[in-house]
Amino acid sequence: MDMQEDPLRFGLIGTGRIGQVHAASIAANPDTTLAWVADPFVGGAEAVASRHGGRATDSPERLLASGELDAVVVASPTPTHVALIEACLDAGLPVLCEKPIDLDIAKVDALRPKVAASQVPVALGFNQRFDPAFAETRARVAAGEIGEPEHLSIVSRDPGPPPAEYIAVSGGIFRDMTIHDFDMARFFLGDIVEVSATGAQLFDEGAREHGDFDSVVVVLRAASGAIATITNSRRSRIGYDQRLEVVGAEGSLTVSNAPSSLVSVSTARAVEARRPYVEFFLERYATAYAQELAEFVELARGGKSTSPTFEDGRAALVIADAARRSAADGAVVRIDG
């Protein structure tokens, strides 16, 4: 019989939309248990703990000081991430932190040397890297199936805009939403050296009210010479629209949308008609979140891991800031180093 390692004891900080996804992944994975759950809204922490295990507290500090943890997931609002990553490093606890690291690159850069000098691993929640279809596509690109990649095309449209209060503190669409696509562009093409972006306020009052865009198009140039386009919208009437195509010298690889059902209906009005695509990220990326956790467990155990790093989180934020500048003043923005 194989030697089994004890499950890693997790602390979860933040039990909102994405925190609940992580709680379910931790509870479902045989290598992990949920030991502590913290949220200032303690009712949320208690509900998660009673469903998935662990003790509830309103205090992240209490969770970190419990001495009963092997690793932490940070799923609290973005402005809390930098301080919580630092607290995890100080406590010697490997941390998987949600994206973005922060909205302010200066705060990210202030923490950067400490992360680099620490032996404690930090992973970033770029879950899309672990989507089976995207991961397969990247592996097939790397295997040379379509030759050198020349053009990457990413389409990402959310089903509907978030509330105006969310837009107000989101940091804008590039840092909130497109940041996933910036990471995917780096995942496929490596370093990005040039960014141009344009945005529009087409339908969302919240975006208009807070000076944000609800629709954007970004063009990226990679150090390799390859180019990428990203199309984002806060609205999609056909379900969650998540498509990707990589074109190379020898052909292309395409990832289509996930159907919500394999059933189609044919009538006198339409043939092979299907329901809209899956609703949103919880359904589309369910497998990716579970795999993201599994890779982080490898990292926390000191094994070989493909978890995105703090530096990946920083690089995506740098591209997002460049896109903001470009969309504001029309310039093509160079990214150095």
Ligand X SMILES: NC(=O)c1ccc[n+]([C@@H]2O[C@H](COP(=O)([O-])OP(=O)(O)OC[C@H]3O[C@@H](n4cnc5c(N)ncnc54)[C@H](O)[C@@H]3O)[C@@H](O)[C@H]2O)c1
**Which residues would be at the binding site for ligand X (CB under 6 A)?**
13-19, 38-41, 44, 60, 75-78, 80, 98-99, 125, 127, 281
> Which residue carries 């020898």 as its tokens?
250
Least distance from ligand X to the Cβ atom of residue 330, Å: 28
Q: How far is the CB of 2 from ligand X (least distance, A)?
A: 32
CB of 304 to ligand X, least distance (A): 23
Would you mind telling me the total number of residues written for the chain in this entry?
A: 337
Least distance to ligand X from the beta carbon of 159, Å?
Answer: 14
* Cα–chain center distance at 321: 17
For 76, the 3-state DSSP assignment is coil
Give the residue at shortest CB distance from ligand X: 16
Residue 76 or 257: the one with the smaller Cβ distance to ligand X is: 76
- Closer residue to ligand X in complex, CB, 82/219: 82
Q: Write the CA distances from 47 to 31, 75, 84, 235, integer angstroms.
A: 22, 16, 22, 31
Minimum distance, C-beta of residue 35 to ligand X, in the bound complex (Å): 16
Question: Which residue lies nearer to ligand X by CB, 98 or 295?
Answer: 98
Nearer residue to ligand X within complex by CB, 159 or 248: 159
Identify the CA nearest to 285 among candidates 118, 126, 149, 54: 126
Give 222 or 318: the residue with its C-beta nearer to ligand X. Answer: 318
Tell me whether residue 205 or residue 283 sits nearer to ligand X (CB atom): 283
Please list, in sequence order, all residues whose beta carbon lies within 8 angstroms of the beta carbon of residue 231, skipping any fewer than 6 positions away: 154, 155, 156, 157, 216, 217
Least Å from the CB of residue 105 to ligand X: 16
DSSP assignment of 96-159: EEPSPS-S-HHHHHHHHHHHHH-SS-EEE--GGGG-HHHHHHHHHHHTTTT-SEEEEEEEEE-S
Nearer to ligand X, 41 or 205 (CB): 41
Q: Cβ of residue 175: shortest distance to ligand X, in angstroms?
A: 9
How far, in Å, are 5, 56, 117, 148, 325 from residue 225 at the CA level?
45, 50, 32, 10, 22
Select 61 or 209, whichever has its Cβ closest to ligand X: 61
What is the smallest separation between the CB atom of 15 and ligand X, expressed in angstroms? 5
- Contact assessment for residue 120 and residue 299, using Cβ atoms and an 8 Å cutoff: no
Q: Give Cα separations from 100 to 142, 197, 266 (angstroms).
A: 27, 19, 44
Q: Are 231 and 154 in contact (CB under 8 A)?
A: yes
Q: Which of 118, 130, 127, 100 is nearest to 21 (CA)?
A: 127
